[in-house]
Each structure stands twice: as structure tokens, then as C-alpha cells.
């Protein structure tokens, strides 16, 4: 990485601007509706968190570089972006935005606000104004492959543990498998149940699969911080290894941003299509269900609801699959009032949960999820994102609520029909 300077930041913003952004910025009438859609405005009532305002640095660069009027006024020194302003915007572009994309759904003129916030992060990151927590995570990701510094040793230890527990083998670096499974560090450290669940499900489905020792991490801190260089490097590791192993499908784990990163941004970052397919684990499981390869028995006893990870629904189109799957194992599944593509974020997506100084804001924002849960009176909360899960566990703790959170994949595995595999 080159040294962070204001000039690099300015140029990064300039490079991001395309026809959609110019159209969006030309369209805004300052109606304020995006504020009502934003978790951080909704829970704090602070107008500084209005999504369109978070784009002020981008708007200034666009105006000055790409409009006749802006070029003329900037000759007079009016409306120029400063480094101080970029630094100040860290609070708006990172601390109070999880890239959840709710704002993009309500804008009457049709502006894709979150698309622009993601791009604005490129400018702040290049100018050195990204949050410390995310800078550290990105450095660890480049160096060790994992934003949390999880090494292959840790994974190997977990593989041994899973193999001992299940009596199944966990394939590593196997050529020509149908599926290559990615994990998030959060799963390796906090939720080892996930890998065990995968082993059991793949065994029941009779599918060939593998982990890859050089590319097991799915999350991409380059995308969260807004550094295409880092993001490209991290995506390339997965792509190169998956193509080397000649797998058919790469499975993104229970993580929202990891899916966005590898499914949508990845091919654009490396400038070509992959030679394999990318699916989220829920898409794979739903396909198994439809093909009768996922057989379950019994039902959950508790009343439960599903928290949609933003990147899976609004930004990923994986909406129906978790519902199909939940209905396999629950007769007591209720929906939150706003769910699916209208869901509310957990409050810590898009790398927000890595920002220590934003913890208070995160807890405040969680009040929205708390309210949604209170309305339903559920006993169990199911989700499909390890980051949502950690953030919500902390949120529930802060509000002294006693609701267990379960990953959907592991909940399904609790009900797998045993076929003498153990």
C-alpha cells in the first residue's frame, strides 16, 4: 500500500465516479426520506446521520471534477474538499453506516445511496482516515489471511476436533471436489458448530467437498474498509486456489459481507468471470432440500424468528431460501414486521463492529432489533451471519435480554436424519 495522503484520497474519489453516481447526485432534492430508512438516524434522531449527507465528500469531488458549473465555481475556490472534512467524515461513512442499503430502497428519485457510500470509503481509506480497527483488521488479513489473525494451525486443530466428534473426515486441499467451503474467522473462533454442520450435511447429501489450506477465509476486510487493492488481493487468493483445485462451486459461509465480496464485487475487482460458481451456504442447502438431499426430522419447540443479514437479502437476493429451510424444522416460525429486503440491520455490519470507538452507537442502534424482537416475543433468534450473530449477542447482553441466537445451518443439522454416520 502506498502512503495515505489527501491527494490519494481525492484521486480515489475521483476515480470512483461513474454515470450512476453522477445521475444520483444530480437527482437528490433533499427530501430527507433516506434519514427515516437509516438505522442510525432512526435510533438517535441525529440529522448528521442522514445517508445523503454522508456523501458530501463524494458530491464535492463530482461537482468540481465533472460539472461545468462546479469547475467554474472551484476556480473561485468555492466548494473545495479539504483533508479536515475527509477526516471528519469517518464518523459518517464508517461509524454510522453498516452498508446495510435500506436507504437505497426508499429514495424517491431512486438513488442507490449505499453504492455511493461504499465508493466514498475508497477515498477516506486512501487518505488515511479509515477507522483504526478496520486498518488493523485489513493488515492482519493481508498478512495472515484472516482479519482476526486466525492461522491454519487453528483451523487444523478445529478440523481434528470435528473429525473426532463426528467420525467423518474433513477434506483439505482435495482436487476436483464439487464444493469448496469457505469459513469466516468468526466461525473458526466462536462458532465451531458450523464446520461440524457442514461435514454432516455434505456426508448426508453424498457430495464431495473440500477446505483449502491457502484460502479458507471468506471475509474481505478490503471491501469493508474501502480499499480495492486489498479487496482484490484477498479475492484473488480464493479465486486462484479454487481454480487450482478445480472445484465446481465455492460456498460462502454464514456471513453477509463475505457473500457480497466474493459473489458480486470479486469478479469486477479481478476483471474477469470465475471458472467456478459462487453460492451462499443457504442457497446450497435450499438446493439440497429441493433435490431431497437434505433430510430432517422433528421440529424446534421454541417460537423463533429469522434475522435477515442485509447483504443476503437487500444486496444479495437470498430471501426465500432461509424461509424454506426454517419451515423444514419449525412450525413456530414468525416474521418480524419488517423482514426480507426490508429488514433492519443488526447495527454492526460493513466492518462497523470492528470500530471500537463506535460501540456506544452500535448498542444504541441495536434498540431497533430489540424493539422488533419485543414485538414478537420469540424464544429463539435464528440468523445466517456470524457477524450479525456476535453483534446481536452483544446487543442482547447490553439490553439484558435472554434470547439464544442460533445459526440456521447448525439448527438444521440438529434435525438431520441420522444414517449411521456416527
Under the rule (CB under 8 A), what is the footprint of other proteins? 17-24, 26-33, 35-37, 41, 45, 47-48, 50, 52-53, 66-69, 104-112, 115, 263-264, 266-268, 270-273, 277, 313-319, 337-338, 341-342
Residue 285 CB, nearest distance to other proteins (Å)? 17
Query: CA–CA distance from 316 to each of 256, 275, 282, 394, 403 (Å)?
Result: 8, 20, 12, 25, 27
Residue 196 CB, nearest distance to other proteins (Å)? 30
Residue 166 CB, nearest distance to other proteins (Å)? 33
**Contact (CB, 8 A) for 214 and 418:** no
Using the minimum distance from each CB to other proteins, give the nearer residue, 37 or 211: 37
Using the minimum distance from each CB to other proteins, give the nearer residue, 204 or 279: 279
Residue 103 CB, nearest distance to other proteins (Å)? 11
Locate all alpha helices (DSSP H) within 19-130, ordered by sequence: 19-27, 33-37, 39-44, 56-66, 68-75, 83-88, 90, 103-106, 113-126
Instruction: Locate 74 and state its grid cell.
Output: 472551484
Question: Of the candidates 164, 249, 243, 170, which has an alpha carbon nearest to the alpha carbon of residue 210?
Answer: 170
Using the minimum distance from each CB to other proteins, give the nearer residue, 36 or 357: 36
Using the minimum distance from each CB to other proteins, give the nearer residue, 3 or 30: 30
- Close Cβ partners of 77 (under 8 Å, ≥ 6 residues apart): none
Using the minimum distance from each CB to other proteins, give the nearer residue, 85 or 112: 112
Using the minimum distance from each CB to other proteins, give the nearer residue, 114 or 355: 114
Residue 172 CB, nearest distance to other proteins (Å)? 27
Distance CA 55, CA 113 (A): 8
Instruction: Locate 25 and state its grid cell.
Output: 447526485
Residue 202 CB, nearest distance to other proteins (Å)? 23
Question: Of the candidates 205, 229, 23, which has an alpha carbon nearest to the alpha carbon of residue 122?
Answer: 229
Using the minimum distance from each CB to other proteins, give the nearer residue, 337 or 360: 337
Distance CA 167, CA 422 (A): 6
**Contact (CB, 8 A) for 223 and 257:** yes
DSSP state of 182: -
Using the minimum distance from each CB to other proteins, give the nearer residue, 104 or 220: 104
The residue whose grid cell reads 469466516 is 184
Residue 349 CB, nearest distance to other proteins (Å)? 16
Question: Nearest 5°: CA angle at 329, between 325 and 330?
Answer: 105
Using the minimum distance from each CB to other proteins, give the nearer residue, 12 or 188: 12
* C-beta neighbour count of 218 within 10 angstroms: 26
- Close Cβ partners of 374 (under 8 Å, ≥ 6 residues apart): none
Residue 409 CB, nearest distance to other proteins (Å)? 21
Residue 149 CB, nearest distance to other proteins (Å)? 29
Amino acid at each position: 500500500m502506498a502512503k495515505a495522503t489527501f491527494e490519494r484520497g481525492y484521486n480515489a474519489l475521483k476515480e470512483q465516479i461513474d454515470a450512476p453516481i453522477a445521475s444520483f447526485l444530480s437527482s437528490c432534492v433533499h427530501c430527507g426520506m433516506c434519514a427515516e430508512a437509516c438505522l442510525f438516524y432512526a435510533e438517535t434522531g441525529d440529522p448528521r446521520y442522514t445517508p445523503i449527507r454522508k456523501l458530501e465528500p463524494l458530491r464535492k469531488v463530482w461537482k468540481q471534477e465533472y460539472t461545468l458549473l462546479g469547475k467554474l465555481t472551484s476556480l473561485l475556490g468555492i466548494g473545495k474538499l479539504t483533508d479536515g472534512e475527509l477526516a471528519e467524515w469517518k464518523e459518517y461513512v464508517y461509524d454510522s453506516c453498516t452498508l446495510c442499503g435500506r436507504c437505497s430502497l426508499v429514495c424517491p428519485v431512486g438513488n442507490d445511496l449505499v453504492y455511493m457510500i461504499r465508493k466514498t470509503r475508497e477515498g477516506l481509506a486512501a487518505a488515511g482516515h479509515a477507522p483504526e480497527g478496520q486498518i488493523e483488521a485489513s493488515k492482519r488479513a493481508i498478512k495472515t489471511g484472516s482479519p482476526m489473525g486466525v492461522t491454519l494451525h487453528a483451523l487444523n486443530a478445529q478440523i481434528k476436533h470435528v473429525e473426532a466428534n463426528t467420525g467423518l473426515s474433513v477434506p483439505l486441499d482435495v482436487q476436483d471436489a464439487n464444493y469448496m467451503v469457505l469459513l469466516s474467522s468468526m466461525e473458526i473462533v466462536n462458532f465451531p458448530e458450523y464446520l461440524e454442520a457442514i461435514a454432516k450435511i455434505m456426508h448426508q447429501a453424498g457430495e464431495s467437498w473440500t477446505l483449502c489450506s491457502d484460502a479458507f477465509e471468506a471475509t474481505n476486510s478490503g471491501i469493508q474498509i474501502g480499499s480495492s487493492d486489498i479487496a482484490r488481493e484477498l479475492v484473488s487468493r480464493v479465486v486462484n486456489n479454487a481454480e487450482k483445485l478445480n472445484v465446481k462451486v465455492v460456498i460462502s459461509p454464514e456471513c453477509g459481507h463475505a457473500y457480497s465480496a466474493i459473489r458480486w464485487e470479486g469478479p469486477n475487482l479481478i476483471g474477469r468471470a470465475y471458472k467456478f460458481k459462487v453460492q451462499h451456504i443457504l442457497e446450497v442447502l435450499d438446493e439440497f432440500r429441493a433435490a431431497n438431499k437434505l433430510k430432517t426430522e422433528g421440529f424446534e419447540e421454541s417460537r423463533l424468528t429469522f434475522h435477515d443479514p442485509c447483504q443476503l437479502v437487500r444486496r444479495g437476493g437470498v430471501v426465500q431460501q432461509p424461509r424454506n429451510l426454517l419451515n423444514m424444522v419449525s412450525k413456530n416460525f414468525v416474521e418480524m414486521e419488517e423482514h426480507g429486503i426490508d429488514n433492519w440491520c443488526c447495527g454492526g455490519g460493513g466492518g462497523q463492529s470492528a470500530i471500537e470507538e463506535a460501540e456506544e452507537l452500535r448498542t444504541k442502534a441495536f434498540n431497533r432489533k430489540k424493539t422488533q424482537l419485543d414485538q414478537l416475543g420469540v424464544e429463539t433468534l435464528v440468523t445466517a451471519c456470524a457477524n450479525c450473530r456476535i453483534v446481536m449477542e452483544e446487543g442482547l447482553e447490553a439490553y439484558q435480554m435472554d434470547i439464544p441466537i442460533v445459526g440456521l445451518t447448525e439448527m438444521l443439522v440438529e434435525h438431520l436424519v441420522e444414517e449411521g454416520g456416527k
